[in-house]
Structure 1
Amino acid sequence: MQKILQSLNRRKVFRVATVYSVVAWLIMQILDIVLPTFNAPLWINQTLLLLLFLGLPLVTILAWLMDEQSEEIDAQNITIPEHRRSLIFGGSAISTLAFGLIFLAVTFLLLDRFLFSSIEPGSVVQNSSNANQQIVQRTNITLPSDQSIALAEMMPLGVGRKSLAISNQGNFLAYVANEYGSLKIYIRPMDSFEAYPLDGTEGGFSPFFSPDEQWLGFVTPTHILKIPVSGGSPQSLTESTNVYGVTWGLDNNIVFSEREGMRIASISSDGGQKKVLLESTDMLFDPEILPDNKGILLSNSSSVIQLFDPEVGVVRPLIPRGRDARYIDTGHIVYAGMESYMAVSFNLETMSTEGSPFPILNGVLTEAIGVGQLSFSDNGILAYVPGKDMGIVTPVWVNRNGEETSIPLDSGRYGSFDLSPDASQVAISIVDGSDSDIWVYDFDRQTSPQRLTVGRGALFPKWSLDGNDIAFGAQNPVNADVRARLDIQGAVELESTRIDADFADLIAPDSWSKNGELIVSAASQADQGLDLYIVDAADQERRPFVVTENSEWGASLSPNNDYVAFTTDLSGQYQINVKRFPPTEERWVISSGYGEEPFWSKDGSEIFYRRGNQWLSTPVKTTPEFEAGVPEVLFEGPYGNVYGISYAVDANGEKFFLLKQPDQEPPNEINIVNNWTKELY
Structure 2
Amino acid sequence: MKKVSLLGGAPHVICGVPPVMHGASWGPDDVIYYSPAHSWGIHKVSASGGESQIVTTPDGSKGELGHYWPQVLPGGKAILFTIGTREDFDDARIVAQTLETGERKVLIDRGTYGRYLPTGHLVYARAGSLLAAPFDLSRLEVEGTPIPVVEGVKVDSRSGAANFSYSNAGSLLYVSGKSDSNAQELVWVDRRGQARPLMEARHAFYTPSLSPDGQRLAICIKRVTQNIWVYDMARGALAKLSFEEDWGPVWTPDGSQIAYTSGKVRTPPAIALRPADGSGEEEQLVAGETPVFTGSWSPDGKVLAYTNAPVDLISPGRSTGHDIWLLRLDGERKPEPFLQSQSDESAPEFSPEGRLLAYVSNESGRNEVYVVAFPGPGGKWQISTGGGTSPRWTRNGRELFYRNGNKMMAVAISLQPTFKASTPRVLFEGEYEEAGRPDGPRNYDVTPDGQHFVMIKPYEGPSTPSQLIVALEWFDDLSRRATGKPE
Per the normalisation by structure 2, the TM-score is 0.71
Is the counterpart of residue 648 in structure 1 residue 445 in structure 2? yes
Does the residue aligned with 1:277 lie in a helix, a strand or coil? Answer: coil
Deviations 1:90-109 (A, max 9, x none): xxxxxxxxxxxxxxxxxxxx
Q: Is the 8 A contact 1:473 1:506 kept in 2?
A: no
Rounded Cα–Cα distance in structure 2 between residues aligned with 1:289 and 1:567: 36
Q: Is the 8 A contact 2:65 2:265 kept in 1?
A: no
Rounded Cα–Cα distance in structure 2 between residues aligned with 1:395 and 1:583: 38
* Alpha-carbon offset, residue 499 of structure 1: 4.3
Q: Please, which of 467, 470, 473 is the counterpart of residue 672 of structure 1?
A: 470
Letter in 1 for 2:453: F
* Alpha-carbon offset, residue 656 of structure 1: 1.2
Rounded Cα–Cα distance in structure 2 between residues aligned with 1:412 and 1:317: 31
* Alpha-carbon offset, residue 675 of structure 1: 4.3
* Alpha-carbon offset, residue 462 of structure 1: 0.7
Could you say which residue in structure 2 is the equivalent of 1:514? 299
Gaps of 5+ in 1: 1-244, 253-268
Could you say which residue in structure 2 is the equivalent of 1:12? none
Could you say which residue in structure 2 is the equivalent of 1:556? 349
Deviations 1:430-457 (A, max 9, x none): 3332x3332211101113x12323x333
Is the counterpart of residue 431 in structure 1 residue 222 in structure 2? yes
Rounded Cα–Cα distance in structure 2 between residues aligned with 1:246 and 1:370: 23
Rounded Cα–Cα distance in structure 1 between residues aligned with 2:265 and 2:278: 28
CA shift in 2, pair 1:584/1:334, >3 Å = same
Letter in 1 for 2:209: D
Q: Is the 8 A contact 1:374 1:383 kept in 2?
A: yes
* Alpha-carbon offset, residue 666 of structure 1: 11
Rounded Cα–Cα distance in structure 1 between residues aligned with 2:281 and 2:98: 45
Deviations 1:97-131 (A, max 9, x none): xxxxxxxxxxxxxxxxxxxxxxxxxxxxxxxxxxx
Deviations 1:344-401 (A, max 9, x none): 4656755887423441264427598888765544434343443455532222212222
Rounded Cα–Cα distance in structure 2 between residues aligned with 1:592 and 1:340: 46
Rounded Cα–Cα distance in structure 2 between residues aligned with 1:458 and 1:571: 32
CA shift in 2, pair 1:409/1:663, >3 Å = closer
The correspondence of residues 131-150 of structure 1 with structure 2, limited to 5 A, is none
Could you say which residue in structure 2 is the equivalent of 1:313? 52
Could you say which residue in structure 1 is the equivalent of 2:456? 659
Q: Is the 8 A contact 1:462 1:471 kept in 2?
A: yes
The correspondence of residues 248-287 of structure 1 with structure 2, limited to 5 A, is 248=4, 269-271=8-10, 275=13, 277-278=15-16, 283-285=19-21
The total of aligned residue pairs comes to 410
Q: Please, which of 466, 472, 477 is the counterpart of residue 260 of structure 2?
A: 472
Is the counterpart of residue 294 in structure 1 residue 294 in structure 2? no
Is the counterpart of residue 400 in structure 1 residue 191 in structure 2? yes
The correspondence of residues 75-90 of structure 1 with structure 2, limited to 5 A, is none
Rounded Cα–Cα distance in structure 2 between residues aligned with 1:507 and 1:530: 9
Rounded Cα–Cα distance in structure 2 between residues aligned with 1:551 and 1:414: 26
Is the counterpart of residue 443 in structure 1 residue 243 in structure 2? no
* Alpha-carbon offset, residue 581 of structure 1: 1.5
Gaps of 5+ in 2: 59-63, 112-123, 131-149, 313-318, 483-487
Rounded Cα–Cα distance in structure 2 between residues aligned with 1:582 and 1:528: 23
CA shift in 2, pair 1:317/1:579, >3 Å = farther
* Alpha-carbon offset, residue 652 of structure 1: 1.3
Q: Is the 8 A contact 2:253 2:297 kept in 1?
A: yes
Rounded Cα–Cα distance in structure 2 between residues aligned with 1:295 and 1:289: 6
Rounded Cα–Cα distance in structure 2 between residues aligned with 1:365 and 1:559: 44
* Alpha-carbon offset, residue 519 of structure 1: 0.5
Deviations 1:296-330 (A, max 9, x none): 42342x36564332454224557867898474877
Does the residue aligned with 1:416 lie in a helix, a strand or coil? Answer: strand
Could you say which residue in structure 1 is the equivalent of 2:147? none
Q: Please, which of 386, 410, 414 is the counterpart of residue 617 of structure 1?
A: 410
Q: Is the 8 A contact 1:324 1:372 kept in 2?
A: no
Does the residue aligned with 1:285 lie in a helix, a strand or coil? Answer: coil
Rounded Cα–Cα distance in structure 1 between residues aligned with 2:68 and 2:424: 36
Could you say which residue in structure 2 is the equivalent of 1:489? 274
Does the residue aligned with 1:549 lie in a helix, a strand or coil? Answer: coil
Does the residue aligned with 1:560 lie in a helix, a strand or coil? Answer: coil
The share of aligned pairs that are identical, in percent, is 22
Does the residue aligned with 2:309 lie in a helix, a strand or coil? Answer: strand
Could you say which residue in structure 2 is the equivalent of 1:534? 326
Is the counterpart of residue 462 in structure 1 residue 462 in structure 2? no
* Alpha-carbon offset, residue 632 of structure 1: 2.2
CA shift in 2, pair 1:611/1:342, >3 Å = farther
Could you say which residue in structure 1 is the equivalent of 2:140? none
Rounded Cα–Cα distance in structure 2 between residues aligned with 1:645 and 1:323: 28
- Tell me which structure has the larger Cα radius of gyration: 1
* Alpha-carbon offset, residue 467 of structure 1: 1.1
Rounded Cα–Cα distance in structure 1 between residues aligned with 2:344 and 2:194: 34
* Alpha-carbon offset, residue 418 of structure 1: 1.0
CA shift in 2, pair 1:336/1:315, >3 Å = closer
Q: Please, which of 557, 560, 580 is the counterpart of residue 373 of structure 2?
A: 580
Q: Is the 8 A contact 2:79 2:98 kept in 1?
A: no
Q: Is the 8 A contact 1:484 1:501 kept in 2?
A: no
Rounded Cα–Cα distance in structure 2 between residues aligned with 1:495 and 1:566: 32
Is the counterpart of residue 410 in structure 1 residue 201 in structure 2? yes
Q: Is the 8 A contact 2:226 2:244 kept in 1?
A: yes
Could you say which residue in structure 2 is the equivalent of 1:598? 391
Letter in 2 for 1:452: L
Over aligned residue pairs, what C-alpha RMSD do you find? 3.9
Q: Which moved more, 1:316-325 or 1:421-430?
A: 316-325
Rounded Cα–Cα distance in structure 1 between residues aligned with 2:287 and 2:42: 23
Letter in 2 for 1:459: W
CA shift in 2, pair 1:336/1:426, >3 Å = same
Deviations 1:146-198 (A, max 9, x none): xxxxxxxxxxxxxxxxxxxxxxxxxxxxxxxxxxxxxxxxxxxxxxxxxxxxx
* Alpha-carbon offset, residue 648 of structure 1: 0.9
Letter in 2 for 1:670: L
Deviations 1:505-557 (A, max 9, x none): 43222111123101012224432353211111233122112223333221111
Rounded Cα–Cα distance in structure 2 between residues aligned with 1:622 and 1:372: 53
Rounded Cα–Cα distance in structure 2 between residues aligned with 1:374 and 1:444: 44
Give the structure, 1 or 2, with the largest relative contact order (CA under 8 Å, sep 6 or more): 2
Rounded Cα–Cα distance in structure 2 between residues aligned with 1:476 and 1:583: 35
Q: Is the 8 A contact 1:508 1:521 kept in 2?
A: yes
CA shift in 2, pair 1:363/1:460, >3 Å = same
Rounded Cα–Cα distance in structure 2 between residues aligned with 1:639 and 1:368: 19
Does the residue aligned with 2:453 lie in a helix, a strand or coil? Answer: strand
Rounded Cα–Cα distance in structure 1 between residues aligned with 2:327 and 2:158: 32
Q: Is the 8 A contact 1:335 1:342 kept in 2?
A: yes
Per the normalisation by structure 1, the TM-score is 0.52
CA shift in 2, pair 1:318/1:489, >3 Å = closer
More helix by share: 1
